[in-house]
Every structure is written in structure tokens, then in C-alpha cells.
């Protein structure tokens, strides 16, 4: 789960991390009122969307008068901003963040990440305000990495190691250590998966400030992070993924045209791979979970069918905790409700599989049954190829 920059800065400030003073605005009138309260020009107007690269896309403006502020607010609020991270469809700017400009002498980069090898890794660089992936490709030796083992608390000596490698010394070294420890506390206590400050600025007065902040959180930990859960902005998310969450379905939109319904993440990945093996392109990852009810199966089918990119659907369910006849009942119910007019291939296996197949056969619906994943993937690809040719 992601949050906006202004929300991440508010969290960091509560852990002692310095951030520029600013406020959020939903209209140009609110933006003007904020500027009068801040009483400090120039100001920075920043579009708030769940994506990076806003500056390059024109989503960040420096303004020096109220007229410039109003123009920027009117141009940005409601605009669809397309950046390198949003994809071609972009994201709609629903709000802007107005903050005081910072007199920057030096920019750096720092992030905390969950290490796939275990534990936490801090990645930092003496160059900030750039794409860190580009720096990693161009000059990986310039990256500072400090690994913290699982179960080990991030401590002062870890922070000192990072700060020293970035060139801090003397009084500023102590300030950098305190800054990094604040980030570490926010990362750990909030169950974050990622915390990135880019750029991390050193001002001409020697202060350390987080000019930008990005945080993402483990959705499985939200039950103990209710404050973080309340920061969720569903308008920035795919509406199908939001709807899937309401039914406890695991759904991720992909760029293909074959909709998928599978129970179990491993089986779902195998299904996507098999579709690709036979020349098809999956339109989504959909895990309906092991104990899905007929109602959840019906909700999943409606969700997949509602994707305008989907031309055909493959259902691959192993009835272990759930009976195949209940799965079939859910599929028939949903197909009739939505008037399904797309090719659908169903592969059932497991408990009560014969009863499930019988329900599908007796439904009178154009549902094609398959006895194996290979056969199911081949059939849905062939059906779409035939439909396309026709």
C-alpha cells in the first residue's frame, strides 16, 4: 500500500526527521490561503499522485507570486499526469502540496528496503534528485549499501557507517546519524516495505531536510497499522483491484487479453506461464484463495469479465478446501447474471470434480471444460485466435 508524499512527510516529522513546512490543497482557493499563511516566497507546488517522476512530467512548479500560484493550482488539480512510473494512462491529480522552498547546497539519496535475502538494506548515494536505478546501472560503485540481518535492530553504528560513506563529518555527521535513525524508526515501526528520501538535502545553512519522501507498506500488516490504513487513497488505485479487495480477492491487472481465475498464488503463476507458453497474454493475476465461496467465485468472474481488455477467460481451480461443485455453482450463477458472451474455459480438479463438471455441462452455457492446465491454456488461446480470425 502506498501513500502520498505529504502523508509520508507527516509521518517522518513525527519521528524527528526535518521536512519543509507545507500544507495540502484541493482547490486553487485553498492554495492561496495556504500561501498567505506560509508567508514565504518562493513556494513549491507539488502534484500528489502515487508515482515518481512528477517533476519531469510538469507536476512540480516553483511559484513566486499569488498569481503564479493560482495558475499552477488551476493547471494541476484535476489534470491527468503521465510520468515514467504511471504508464500511458497516467494518474489524476486530486490534490497539491504547497511547501516552502529550500535553499539547497547539496542533494543526496537514501532509502530503506526489505532485503529479499532477509532483513533490511539501506541504499544511499552522494547524488540525489536522480533516478537511482540509472545510477546503479551507470556507476554501481557509487552506491552505499548497509545490510541489517533479520531480527537485528538498526542502531547508531549502522547510521554512522552510512553517513560516513556519504562524506559527512564533525557536527554534521552527528546530525546525519540522527536523521538516518529517524528514518529507520519510521520504517520499522510502521511496517514499511520501502522508504525513500530523494532528494535528501543539505541546506546552505547546514541543515538536513527530506525534500521528497515516498513510503510503501506491507498490506498484510495493516491490521496493526490502522493509522496507516486510514491514509489509503483508493482514487489512486486500479478500481478493479479496490473492488477485489472488498471480496478478499488477490487481483493484479496485467496487459494481456485472457482473464484468469485461479485458487492459490503458486497455481496462478503457473497458469500465467502456461498461457504465455501457448502464445497467449494473461490480462490479470487473480487468486480467489483456497476456501472461496460460490459468492466469491461469482464476484471474481464478474470482476475479470468487467475488464474491457479481456476477450476470453480461463478458470483453473483445484478443489481442495473447496468443493468443485460449489465452484461450478458460482460460475454458472455469475455467467447468467452478467450474460457472459466471452469464451470461457474451465479446468476443475479435486473434491467432487465429477459433480462440478456435470453442473457446468448441464448449465446450457457455452463453457468449455478441460481436464488439464495445458489443455485449458491451449483451448482458450485457440478460441481467441479463431474468434479474431472470424
Structural domain boundaries, residue 347:
239-389
pLDDT band with cut points at 50, 70 and 90 for residue 200: very high
d(CA 310, CA 256): 7
d(CA 221, CA 185): 16
Nearest to 183 by CA among 16, 2, 4, 10: 16
Cell of 370: 478441460
Last residue of a domain, one of 44, 76, 100: 100
Q: Distance between CA atoms of 196 and 181, rounded to whole angstroms?
A: 14
Domain limit, last residue, from 52, 77, 100 = 100
Query: Above 50 in pLDDT, residue 274?
Result: yes
Residue 291 lies in a domain: yes
* Cβ contact 99:10 at 8 Å: no
CB 79 within 8 A of CB 96: no
Same-domain status, 196 and 109: yes
**Res 388 pLDDT > 50:** no
CA 121 to chain CA centroid, nearest Å: 20
Query: Do residues 125 and 217 share a domain?
Result: yes
Q: How far apart are CA 380 and CA 283, in angstroms?
A: 13
Asked whether residue 165 falls in the same domain as residue 93, the answer is no
Is 256 in the same domain as 330? yes
State whether 243 and 378 are in the same domain: yes
| Cell (9 digits) for 188 | 520499522
Question: Do residues 214 and 268 both lie within one domain?
Answer: no
Tell me, what CATH number does 314's domain have?
Answer: 3.40.50.261
16-30, 64-78, 95-109, 296-310: which range is least confident on average? 296-310
pLDDT of residue 4: 95
**379 and 310 share a domain?**
yes
In a shared domain, residues 201 and 117: yes
Q: Residue 153 above 80 pLDDT?
A: yes
Task: Please indicate whether residue 227 is annotated as part of the active site.
Answer: no
Number of domains in the chain: 3
Side-chain-side CA neighbours of 223 within 13 Å: the count stands at 1
Largest separation between any pair of C-alpha atoms in the chain = 80
Question: Per-residue DSSP letters for 318-360?
Answer: EESSS-HHHHHHHHHHHHHHHT--S-EEEEEEETTHHHHHHHH
CATH of the domain at 44: 3.30.1490.20
Cα dihedral across residues 155, 159, 162, 168: positive or negative: negative
pLDDT tens readout for residues 91-149: 999 999 999 999 999 999 999 999 888 899 999 999 887 788 888 888 888 899 999 99
Q: Considering 168, 197, 229, which residue would you say is the last residue of a domain? A: 229
Indicate the Cα dihedral angle 348, 353, 355, 360, nearest 10°: 10
Q: Which of 109, 141, 237, 251 is catalytic?
A: 109
User: Which of 257-261, 327-331, 340-344 has the highest mean predicted lDDT (pLDDT)?
Assistant: 257-261
Same domain, 248 and 355: yes
What CATH number did the domain enclosing 135 receive? Answer: 3.30.470.20
Residue 50 DSSP symbol: S
Q: Which residues, in sequence order, are bridge partners of residue 60? A: 46
Per the model's pLDDT, the better-predicted residue between 53 and 213 turns out to be 213
Taking the C-alpha atoms of residue 192 and residue 248, their distance in angstroms, rounded to an integer, is: 22
Domain assignment of residue 361, yes or no: yes
Single out the catalytic residue among 196, 251, 278, 329.
Answer: 196
* Cell 510538469, located at residue: 58
Cell of 88: 500511458
Give the percent of the chain with pLDDT over 90. 62
Residue 149 lies in a domain: yes
Predicted confidence (pLDDT) at residue 248 exceeds the cutoff of 60: yes
pLDDT for 387 beyond 60: no
When the pLDDT of each residue in the chain is averaged and rounded to a whole number, the result is 90
127 belongs to the catalytic site: no
Amino acid at each position: 500500500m502506498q501513500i502520498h508524499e505529504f502523508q509520508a512527510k507527516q509521518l517522518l516529522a513525527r519521528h524527528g526527521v526535518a521536512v519543509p513546512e507545507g500544507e495540502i490543497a484541493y482547490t486553487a482557493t485553498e492554495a492561496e490561503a495556504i500561501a498567505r499563511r506560509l508567508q514565504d516566497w518562493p513556494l513549491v507546488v507539488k502534484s500528489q499522485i502515487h508515482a515518481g517522476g512528477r517533476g519531469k512530467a510538469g507536476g512540480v512548479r516553483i511559484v513566486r507570486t499569488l498569481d503564479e500560484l493560482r495558475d499552477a493550482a488551476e493547471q494541476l488539480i484535476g489534470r491527468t499526469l503521465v510520468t515514467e512510473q504511471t504508464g500511458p494512462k497516467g494518474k489524476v491529480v486530486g490534490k497539491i502540496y504547497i511547501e516552502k522552498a529550500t535553499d539547497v547546497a547539496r542533494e543526496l539519496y537514501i532509502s530503506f528496503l526489505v532485503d529479499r535475502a532477509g532483513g533490511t538494506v539501506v541504499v544511499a548515494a552522494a547524488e540525489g534528485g536522480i533516478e537511482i536505478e540509472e545510477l546503479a546501472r551507470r556507476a554501481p560503485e557509487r552506491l552505499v549499501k548497509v545490510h541489517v540481518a533479520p531480527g537485528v535492530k538498526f542502531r547508531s553504528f549502522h547510521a554512522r557507517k552510512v553517513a560516513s560513506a556519504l562524506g559527512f563529518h564533525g557536527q554534521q555527521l552527528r546530525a546525519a546519524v540522527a536523521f538516518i535513525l529517524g528514518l529507520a524508526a519510521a520504517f520499522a515501526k510502521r511496517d514499511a516495505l520501502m522508504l525513500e528520501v530523494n532528494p535528501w538535502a543539505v541546506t546552505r545553512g547546514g541543515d538536513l531536510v527530506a525534500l521528497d519522501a515516498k513510503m510503501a507498506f506491507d498490506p498484510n500488516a495493516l491490521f496493526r497499522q490502522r493509522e496507516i490504513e486510514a491514509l489509503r487513497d483508493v482514487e489512486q488505485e486500479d478500481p478493479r483491484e479496490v473492488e477485489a479487495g472488498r471480496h478478499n480477492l488477490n487481483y493484479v491487472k496485467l496487459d494481456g487479453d485472457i482473464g484468469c481465475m485461479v485458487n492459490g498464488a503458486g497455481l496462478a503463476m503457473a497458469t500465467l506461464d502456461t498461457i504465455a507458453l501457448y502464445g497467449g497474454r494473461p490480462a490479470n493475476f487473480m487468486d480467489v484463495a483456497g476456501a472461496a465461496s460460490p459468492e466469491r467465485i461469482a464476484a471474481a468472474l464478474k470482476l475479470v469479465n468487467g475488464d474491457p481488455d479481456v476477450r476470453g477467460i480461463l478458470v483453473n481451480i483445484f478443489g481442495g478446501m473447496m468443493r468443485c461443485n460449489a465452484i461450478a455453482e458460482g460460475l454458472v450463477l455469475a455467467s447468467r447474471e452478467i450474460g457472459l458472451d466471452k469464451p470461457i474455459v474451465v479446468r476443475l480438479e479435486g473434491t467432487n470434480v465429477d459433480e462440478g463438471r456435470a453442473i457446468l455441462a448441464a448449465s446450457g452455457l457455452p463453457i468449455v471444460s478441460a481436464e488439464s492446465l495445458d489443455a485449458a491454456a491451449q483451448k482458450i488461446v485457440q478460441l481467441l485466435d479463431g474468434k479474431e480470425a472470424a
